[in-house]
Amino acid sequence: METYAFRLRKGQDLRQEIQKFSKTNDIKAGVVLCGVGNLQKAILRMADASITKTWEGTFEIVSITGTVEANDCHLHIAISDATGKTFGGHLKDGSIVGITAEIIIQTINGIEFKRVLDDTGYECLVVNEIEKK
């Protein structure tokens, strides 16, 4: 296992930067252990996959979790507004870091994640063992 920590700055796209980091570091199977920071724009898909909502303002990242690999990531996020109201969903591209975001990713040895379109109509996680050399 390896653990990576990195910081994003104001104006960066949270999801795209996590994906880019995973690709740059050739992560085969990883999980987001921790993520804290701030968003100035949040684009989230709600549990009903046809509803996507956008918020602009200042939001604290309360939690972010998900799976990552070099070619894709599946991330869920909870954020809170200035009143403390907390809401969340599936993180979409276009969610922009406000002040900062601190992300910790841990890899899992011996497996790789892939996403494959299945009978749900979504590209879902498939876990494959990696042959040892």
CA distances from 66 to 24, 106, 110 (A): 18, 11, 19
Q: What is the pLDDT of residue 120?
A: 84
* pTM for the whole structure: 0.92
Of the two residues 132 and 32, the one the predictor is more confident about is 32
Compute the distance between CA of residue 67 and CA of residue 45 in angstroms, rounded to an integer: 17
- Token pair listed for 93: 């591209």
User: For 48-105, how does the pLDDT look when each residue is reduced to its tens digit (9 = 90+)?
Assistant: 778 999 999 999 999 999 999 999 999 999 999 999 999 999 999 999 999 999 999 9
Q: Is 90 exceeded by the pLDDT of residue 38?
A: yes
Half-sphere exposure of 69 (CA within 13 A, CB side): 16
Compute the distance between CA of residue 107 and CA of residue 113 in angstroms, rounded to an integer: 11
The CATH topology of domain 3-129 is: 60s Ribosomal Protein L30; Chain: A; (3.30.1330)
Compute the distance between CA of residue 109 and CA of residue 83 in angstroms, rounded to an integer: 41
Reported as a pLDDT band with limits 50, 70 and 90, residue 43 is very high
Q: What is the pLDDT of residue 98?
A: 97
Q: What is the pLDDT of residue 133?
A: 61
Mean pLDDT of the chain, nearest integer: 95
Reported as a pLDDT band with limits 50, 70 and 90, residue 123 is confident
Share of the chain above pLDDT 90, in %: 87
Compute the distance between CA of residue 94 and CA of residue 33 in angstroms, rounded to an integer: 22
Q: What is the pLDDT of residue 121?
A: 83
- Number of neighbours of residue 102 by Cβ within 10 angstroms: 13
Query: Which residue reads 């990242």 in tokens?
Result: 61
